[in-house]
Structure 1
Amino acid sequence: MASYNRTRRISEEIKKIIGQMLINGIKDPRITSMVSVTDVEVTNDLRYAFVYVSLLGGNEEESLVGLKSSAGFIRREVGKKIKLRYIPEIMFKVDDSIERGMYMDNLIRKVNEENSSKVEENEDEADE
């Protein structure tokens, strides 16, 4: 349990640091998308940090390449701000949960519209 809490705290701290770096510190011209860090998962042995990012607008693939090429710089900066024996290797992954959520929302909305139109048709038939 203590190990889980420690990795969770480290994950949250890395998320804050990388979020600030995306606002202020990374000047890679390939990163044209609006990038936000949605989650960070650190392995139990603290060797890897999987950084989930949401990329909106711009060239998403090129932005991801820019982030991956900046991983060494980001890792070094994280190491300056967090005192750990071993600084996790930063691995970027695209988080598509926002798009999946919007897709599911549209499906639910469509089903609700179909159901409400069927209910109205049944009420009209019952009135006759």
Structure 2
Amino acid sequence: MKQEYKLKMLESEIRKVLSEALMEMKDPNIDPMKSLITISRVEVSKDKRYADVYVSVLGDEAKRKDVVNYFEQKKGYFRTYVAKNIRMYTAPELRFKEDKGIEATVRIGQLLDSIKESQKGDDNK
């Protein structure tokens, strides 16, 4: 139980540090999109060698793929930033993945709204 708690705390800290790294990053390719990018969650393996970083991006499919690929290219920068800001024996290898959770939430909201609209239309008849 204690080990699991420590792992969750580490995941939370890595998420926070990666968000800071993103905001401090000075790259003209990513600057206009920083406000659309969220590091939604981090999952660290039990041996702390790997960290799956889930990134959500508001936009179309191509933009999301581009951002995840960009993060994969810059994973050295992010890993170095984590190593400098969190005391660990070794910084975990970061694996960036697209998080579709926010997109699914928005889609569910749209579906519920359309159901409400259709019910209002049926009530008026």
Rounded to whole Å, the distance in 1 between the matches of 2:10 and 2:28 is 26
Q: TM-score, normalised by structure 1?
A: 0.82
Rounded to whole Å, the distance in 2 between the matches of 1:31 and 1:68 is 17
Alignment RMSD: 2.1
Rounded to whole Å, the distance in 2 between the matches of 1:28 and 1:61 is 18
1:109 is the counterpart of 2:113 = yes
Give the match for residue 24 of structure 2: 24
Q: TM-score, normalised by structure 2?
A: 0.84
Q: Secondary structure at the match of 1:109?
A: helix
The residue type equivalent to 2:2 in the other structure is: A
Give per-residue Cα distances to partners, 1:73-127, cap 9 Å, x unaligned: 2112211111112321101111122221111111111112222222332xxxxxx
Deviates more, 1:103-112 or 1:57-66: 57-66
Give the match for residue 36 of structure 1: 38
Rounded to whole Å, the distance in 2 between the matches of 1:89 and 1:29 is 24
1:30–1:62 contact (8 Å) kept in structure 2:
no
List, as ranges, runs of 4+ consecutive aligned residues in structure 1 with deviation greater than 6 Å.
none
Rounded to whole Å, the distance in 1 between the matches of 2:56 and 2:124 is 40
Change (3 A) 1:10 1:28: farther
Where structure 1 has 5 or more consecutive residues not aligned to the other structure, the ranges are 122-128
2:56–2:64 contact (8 Å) kept in structure 1:
no
Identity of aligned residues (%): 26
Q: Secondary structure at the match of 2:95?
A: strand
Where structure 2 has 5 or more consecutive residues not aligned to the other structure, the ranges are none
The residue type equivalent to 1:91 in the other structure is: R
Give the match for residue 83 of structure 1: 87
1:28–1:66 contact (8 Å) kept in structure 2:
no
Q: How does 1:1-128 map to 2 (within 5 A)?
A: 1-25=1-25, 27=27, 29=29, 33=33, 34-57=36-59, 59-121=63-125
The residue type equivalent to 2:4 in the other structure is: Y
2:64–2:98 contact (8 Å) kept in structure 1:
no
- Equivalent pairs counted in the alignment come to 121
